[in-house]
Structure 1
């Protein structure tokens, strides 16, 4: 399948998000975010706020022990679970079985923002993916180590996981040079979707979204100011929030990429170009999502 469809507001209106499920927070889903290390606690905060601004009803944050109280104060809307941690300040595999159980009772799970790529993360994410068999799933950043180690980990899921690599991460996933990925990001996204059975969001100045069955979209209207630390964490948070609301994986991916890009454009106009912060992106989301849905 060679056709690549542009991601536009008109396209999204034909792929409407699920309506909020009544007046209860249970109707908008339960999110579990497994993320962070002592060196990158902000990644948890960024993805958490984005998930809430995307409209999820309940939020749980699973983080290494030293981050639990600070993040509980920073995100008072969330239930925060402090997990065993390694000497490096990463989540220890000793918490993997408990996380797998929590994943099984969640509607959508995000793993990876701010996590160290090591054997502990690989073990934690592997257990999490297996425990989240019935939950929607986004794998970002550090969690991709588990997919590299076992390409079959995501392939047999009833509903495809969403992978969100940038060019460097995609090069590692596919065992190719970064230059080859940057030369043909669409081909890389297609290869990843086929290999891992995922909806693949190939991030870049032009973002490509490809499903396991070969459907492909491209978003070209983003803003240069989005090339900042933490931007990808917010994108992953938007995705898991929309998945929790009941959106299909490709629908959540397309809406998230568009909303993220439009947030960047609005912030760029307001701040005179570059220089806005990733933490400012989530605040733009409710108006953008409502405007497209109107």
Structure 2
């Protein structure tokens, strides 16, 4: 499913109105009707129900006026609270405001303290509050009367339905500066917006419904929108299919370069996740002093020793060993638990430009690239990087907070500049490609906020590449499967969930996707 930015949605609307001759009032009518239908689906009966519609001066408010008309026609009791003056409403919104005024629907301009008392009383006795204050064009910080209205909506404790996007949420980023309407449901139009899936906006959107308002499909497809919402159906089509007579040699060979003294767990979890994701043969390469440790942890994974430093990390001599190992495998995953010793990070930089098969780069291997991201353009195959926001911040010179404030843009820019696939982990994980294509994941939960889940993702993506998937498809599918496995594991409880619980659930996630 595509997701449109605010600018893309404005262009789609413009083409529909200007080039196809669809009146804006028709689109507004269809939008309002779609919201009323959704209200009916969740409330069952609209007659005699009490609604407060909070409307702004623009087209989002116009949708609210349409909603008011159709609710009254179905026997509902409606009050419309207008943030602003009637005289300031124009265009298609004005047409619909005039109609409901002629219908004698109660319209209150919020201008005095007495009006605010009416807001409070009406919200207290309402069955549902409809947020039609501002739409996808909103940017910046909520203040003044808008802030006060949002506080009133959120404090009422009633069912809240947002029109297109909750007021205060930025459509492109999900960013909230100050406050936003916390909706139980959001009815968005034509296409979803990225901010409905990106936190914190996703938390305020509630249950999402995408409504068709009559915009021709051709307009949407011609826009070449590059934001995608990652769903099970898309993943199902790209997962590898196994022949009944397959064997381990046909299911991919994977080398995991990971671990150091005291950090054997990360190495073991990466290899175990790759195994659970279907890789046929896995070799875990670790510094010699911990080879026996990981061999005990893993039954079905082969191990091999790498030259090491005095402190138990990978040494410069390991570069040639990694290159030899890579020559025997389809993909190399590197980084989990390798440590940050000077010799180790130097070895990582050398290995990245030496290895000829696809690379999945994570954790301490990302640390080795701080100030050296230009090395990524020397990779023989398109590498996959899996940073969390802190690591992404170190690589880009930003804070983790800055990274999270505009996850799509930052991941997209990094992918383009580094000539790499960037998997920016978090809620929700972003997969970005050098051509600007971006996927926003929809699986995963807070139980995954624990050590080792990132190592598991590295193993899953690498295993999918080993099985013959392109790095592009493996990154997309791996992220979805990883989150779904987390969702399956979370059924036993999110608090206290461990990365190993997620890893054990990977086969069930794969089965579910293929057979749902």
Is TM > 0.5 for Structure 1 vs Structure 2? yes
CA distance in 1, matches of 2:243, 2:471: 17
CA distance in 1, matches of 2:422, 2:503: 22
Structure 2 residue matching 1:281: 3-state secondary structure: helix
Residue number in structure 2 paired with 1:257: 479
Structure 2 residue matching 1:155: 3-state secondary structure: helix
1:90-109 equivalences in 2 (<5 Å): 90-109=313-332
CA distance in 2, matches of 1:191, 1:290: 34
1:17-96 equivalences in 2 (<5 Å): 17-19=240-242, 22-96=245-319
Tell me whether 258-267 or 21-30 shows the greater mean CA deviation: 21-30
1:12 to 219, 235, 249: 235
| Rg (Cα) greater in structure | 2
CA distance in 1, matches of 2:476, 2:432: 10
Residue number in structure 2 paired with 1:127: 350
Tell me whether 236-245 or 276-285 shows the greater mean CA deviation: 276-285
2:437 to 215, 229, 235: 215
How far apart are 1:182 and its partner, in Å? Answer: 1.5
Tell me whether 56-65 or 123-132 shows the greater mean CA deviation: 123-132
CA distance in 2, matches of 1:141, 1:219: 21
CA distance in 2, matches of 1:181, 1:204: 11
Structure 1 residue matching 2:295: 3-state secondary structure: helix
Asked whether 1:198 is paired with 2:420, we answer: yes
Whether the 8 Å contact between 2:307 and 2:317 is mirrored in structure 1 is yes
1:277-292 equivalences in 2 (<5 Å): 277-292=498-513
Whether the 8 Å contact between 2:258 and 2:334 is mirrored in structure 1 is yes
Whether the 8 Å contact between 2:367 and 2:391 is mirrored in structure 1 is no
> Deviation string for 1:118-155 (max 9, x for gaps)?
3222222223223321x221000000134334323222
Structure 2 unaligned spans of 5+: 1-223
Residue number in structure 1 paired with 2:386: 164
Structure 2 residue matching 1:36: 3-state secondary structure: coil
CA distance in 2, matches of 1:118, 1:221: 35
1:246 to 459, 464, 468: 468
Whether the 8 Å contact between 1:3 and 1:216 is mirrored in structure 2 is yes
Whether the 8 Å contact between 2:353 and 2:378 is mirrored in structure 1 is no
CA distance in 2, matches of 1:21, 1:40: 39
How far apart are 1:44 and its partner, in Å? Answer: 0.7
Question: Quick one: higher RCO (CA 8 Å, sep 6+), 1 or 2?
Answer: 1
How far apart are 1:290 and its partner, in Å? Answer: 2.2
Tell me whether 6-15 or 145-154 shows the greater mean CA deviation: 145-154
Taking a change above 3 Å as real, the CA distance of residues 21 and 55 of structure 1, as seen in their structure-2 partners, is: farther
Whether the 8 Å contact between 1:35 and 1:113 is mirrored in structure 2 is yes
Taking a change above 3 Å as real, the CA distance of residues 2 and 146 of structure 1, as seen in their structure-2 partners, is: farther
How far apart are 1:156 and its partner, in Å? Answer: 4.2
Structure 1 residue matching 2:426: 3-state secondary structure: coil
Residue number in structure 2 paired with 1:183: 405
TM-score with structure 2 setting the length:
0.54
Aligned residues: 292
Structure 1 unaligned spans of 5+: none
> Deviation string for 1:146-202 (max 9, x for gaps)?
433432322244531100000110011111222211111111111210121111000
Whether the 8 Å contact between 1:18 and 1:247 is mirrored in structure 2 is no
Tell me whether 13-22 or 77-86 shows the greater mean CA deviation: 13-22
Structure 2 residue matching 1:60: 3-state secondary structure: strand
CA distance in 2, matches of 1:213, 1:88: 41
Residue number in structure 1 paired with 2:364: 142
Tell me whether 176-185 or 81-90 shows the greater mean CA deviation: 81-90
1:266 to 484, 488, 502: 488
Pairwise CA RMSD? 1.8
Tell me whether 81-90 or 52-61 shows the greater mean CA deviation: 81-90
Give runs of ≥4 in structure 1 deviating > 6 Å: none
Structure 2 residue matching 1:59: 3-state secondary structure: strand
Residue number in structure 2 paired with 1:293: 514
How far apart are 1:21 and its partner, in Å? Answer: 8.9
> Deviation string for 1:56-107 (max 9, x for gaps)?
1111111111210121122122221122222332111122111112112210
Tell me whether 151-160 or 195-204 shows the greater mean CA deviation: 151-160
